[in-house]
A and B are shown apart, each in its own frame.
Chain A
Amino acid sequence: MEVTVKIFRYNPEKDQRGNYVTYKVEAHENDRVLDVLEYIKGKEDGTLSFRRSCAHGICGSDAMRINGRNMLACKVLIRDVGTNITVEPLLGLKISKDLIVDMEPFFDNYKKVLPYFINDSPLPEDGRERLQSPEERARFDETTKCILCAACTTSCPSYWANGEYYGPAAIVTAHRFIFDSRDEAAGERLQILAETDGVARCHTAYNCTEACPREIKITRAIGEVKMAMTTGKLD
């Protein structure tokens, strides 16, 4: 079938501003949008630039706006989006070139929430694993799925309004540690997230939850963090 793909193009070395270019290509309904972009780059216009790596929704490189919604180009098929497709870069981050945005502010926010396991207590004497029940493990299972693709954060109206907001992805990462029974820095993280640019900026628009290609219930996770902040309890 013929697919019409309208792509946002911007080359900072040439263009004052971005514009849209339309390509018509043959594709199969089971092709990924990424396959179509690869084909356009390979055969129609080599200058088209985008990030990609694993091509099956696990590395988080190719988040972009497809028909107005944040998705991974490798995890959406032509049969899901139809034959008229508009592809644009993520909102809220500076466009570097075409579909590539500057990810540095995103990772800077990630780094603010102490995104690593903290437990300074002595290890078990036998040198074996710290024990954790299946129920304790299940408590934070969902937020371990995050691949840092930025689809959530760049769909968030509060983040668009204020880039200082840590954003949903950073809070998801914090959640993964706050609710891990083995971690000892929940208090510190909750303090960080209680700051002006923390969870208070979440207005439960649900955009993040809808955008997440890993189907993490992000709004709920943020809600749980807010609740822990209020009650001082982690259950």
Chain B
Amino acid sequence: MANVHQFDVVVVGAGGAGLMAGLYASRTAKTAVISKLYPTRSHTGAAQGGISAALGNYEEDKPEWHMYDTVKGSDYLGDQDAIEFMCNEAIDAVLELEHMGLPFDRTPEGKISQRPFGGHTNNETGKPVRRAAHAADRTGHMILQTLYQQCLKNKVNFFDEYQVLDFIMVNGRAAGVVAVELATGELHTIHAKAVVFATGGHGRIFEVTSNAYAYTGDGAAILLRRGIPLEDMEFFQFHPTGIYKLGILITEGVRGEGGVLLNGNGERFMPKYAPTVKDLASRDVVSRAIYTEIKEGRGINGSNYVYLDIRPESVNKYAAVDGRTNPDGSPYTITADTVLKKIPDIVDFCRVYLGVDPVTQVMPIQPTAHYTMGGIPTNKYGEVVIDDRNTIFPGLYAAGECACVSVHGANRLGTNSLLDIVVFGKHAGLKAAEYAQSADFETLPGEVEADARSAFEALRNGSKKENAFDLSNELKKVMFDDVGIYRSEKGMAEALDKVRELKERFKDVGVTDTGKIFNTELLNAWELGNLLDIAETVAMSALNRKESRGGHSREDYPERDDGSWLKHTLIAQKDGKLEISYKPVVITKHQPKARVY
């Protein structure tokens, strides 16, 4: 072990959650942040529409409404103590970002500007409320840049382009991580008292996705292999509006600004499915509506996509129909300039990838795999909890998309992801530093890098009968087709078999690159191993849950079943096999009721 580094806290991942954890932990503890990417490449930067907080900068809003909307959005699977905590922290979290210099758009009075988003409502009138604080349509980019900049200002220690490979546990406590430095291929041991995983989601198990190549579920897969359970893995969000075929995200903010969805007959179809908030219903509801239109033959030219329309004349027409008004009571209208100013990146994406100008043309869209609701189970302080009694694993923390607090339950509300990373990243960092103050370093065992080394050796010495690129494509296709927006017993059982077959075939993958420097072939193959392990937990958890709830929609069990299934799934590896158990949902203020938008 030539390369051993010692830190009180090591944070794995440098997106919003990891940077926030690093920033807060480093105030009182010697902290390192390691990431397989340069921090500014993290996927937080792809988030577009906004971060929610009941600032009330345009009209009345309350954290209690934000809480109720989030509980309802979660289809009652979210833990209400954690949701209440997040929504109460939201206002200060957004103001703190502003104080760090984040360039939010502004109201005429100079306050942070906010826009409507799916499922954000005034609980008394049921009407949309402007809660999503935004910086054009690059809010995530600005959060990522701002937090990275603040970390530089505060001299946080970064290990850029270090891929985490293993979690070290000694005597049932966290003791650090093993990582590989991409530029040299050298293994490094980061010996730490506390470890924070902030490694993001795993959308790359699906064929059509808005997620980055980097989204391979590394942290969750590593902990799964070390016996830590994963929670609610069956719940994955399909965002309604991805660019047709490519899956690139088109923010819900487009509908927030007045955009509408149209089917092949040119009809605005959302009022049929969500009479009150229409195009601004929750994401799972809108994605299913799109698929129903397609299935019933009303896709564009009978094909598997529909149109999103933000052309000013359409927006103004439907805004008049809906009676939408400005804060001063005048009718809501937009111009071409509004489109260019409010959603400049969307305009750019459409021009580059589709050759379509959204100011004058409609955008072909289809639902795209977008967000991991499940993940590493934590409490509201980011502490990893490993069973149905919420027993804390000492020294281990998780935050952001890789974690399951659970504030998103069965379906995440738009803009709550950016809020999640800021709030829980901060608390995970604080808790990790606090723990490190009182804990001692565990003594590292001699062979701490052995498992990471042998995983690499297996990939280097594989028979090469199988090709990682092909296996990856087969995995993505079967998961998207059979464990996607609509699911059924037969399809999921076949998908699970297929994933297990792919796991077997993965043993015959062999990388051709024998070098050490930037061996990206080896790393991609290792990531595929993570995707396969994660996909198995997703398919198995989904097959097991015999109801429909939020992002988990079963054709054979179309109704939500609170009697049997108002509970979290835990899935864990025991003796080489996956086992499922359950954990109760925390319900405080809002009893489950039918979910109508």
Contact = CB atoms under 8 A, between A and B. Distances in A.
Given A47-B521, A116-B150, A134-B105, A123 B99 contact: yes
A74 to B, nearest CB: 10
B451 interface: no
B518 A96 contact: yes
A118 B150 CA distance: 10
Contacts of A183: 101
A97 B105 CA distance: 41
Given A12-B517, A117-B146, A148 B110 contact: no
Interface stretch (A50-58, A200-208, A227-235): A50-58
Contacts of A182: 101
Given A43-B467, A47-B512, A131-B111, A57 B37 contact: no
Interface in B132-186: 135-136, 138, 141-142, 145-146, 149-150, 152-153, 183
A144 B142 contact: yes
Contacts of A58: 45-46, 138, 141, 345
Contacts of B46: 54, 56, 58-59
Interface residues of A, number: 63
Contacts of B519: 49
A55 B213 contact: yes
Nearest to A133: B110
A193 B111 CA distance: 31
A180 interface: yes
B43 A47 contact: no
Given A58-B45, A59-B45, A129-B98, A77 B352 contact: yes
Contacts of A119: 101
B248 interface: yes
A96 B513 CA distance: 15
A129 B513 contact: no
Instruction: Name the prevailing secondary structure of the A interface residues.
Output: loop
A61 interface: yes
A139 B183 CA distance: 39
Interface string A135-171: 0110011001101100000000000000000000000
Which of B100, B248, B470: most chain A CB closer than 10 A?
B248
A107 interface: yes
B575 interface: no
Given A47-B521, A54-B45, A147-B141, A140 B103 contact: yes
Contact of A46 (B45, B348, B521): B521
B138 A145 contact: yes
Interface in A28-43: 30, 38-39, 41-43
B101 A59 contact: no
Contacts of B515: 11, 13-14, 47, 97
Interface string A203-217: 000000000000100
Give the top 8 A-B pairs by smallest Cβ distance, nearest first.
Answer: A117-B101, A42-B469, A131-B110, A116-B149, A116-B153, A46-B521, A47-B513, A59-B41
28 contacts: A12-B517, A38-B469, A46-B511, A46-B512, A46-B513, A51-B41, A52-B213, A53-B43, A54-B41, A55-B213, A59-B45, A60-B40, A77-B352, A116-B101, A116-B150, A116-B152, A117-B146, A117-B149, A117-B150, A127-B95, A129-B98, A129-B104, A132-B106, A144-B145, A147-B40, A176-B103, A177-B101, A183-B101
Interface of B: 37-38, 40-43, 45-46, 92, 95, 98-101, 103-112, 135-136, 138, 141-142, 145-146, 149-150, 152-153, 183, 212-214, 246, 248, 345, 348-349, 352-353, 467-470, 472, 511-513, 515-521
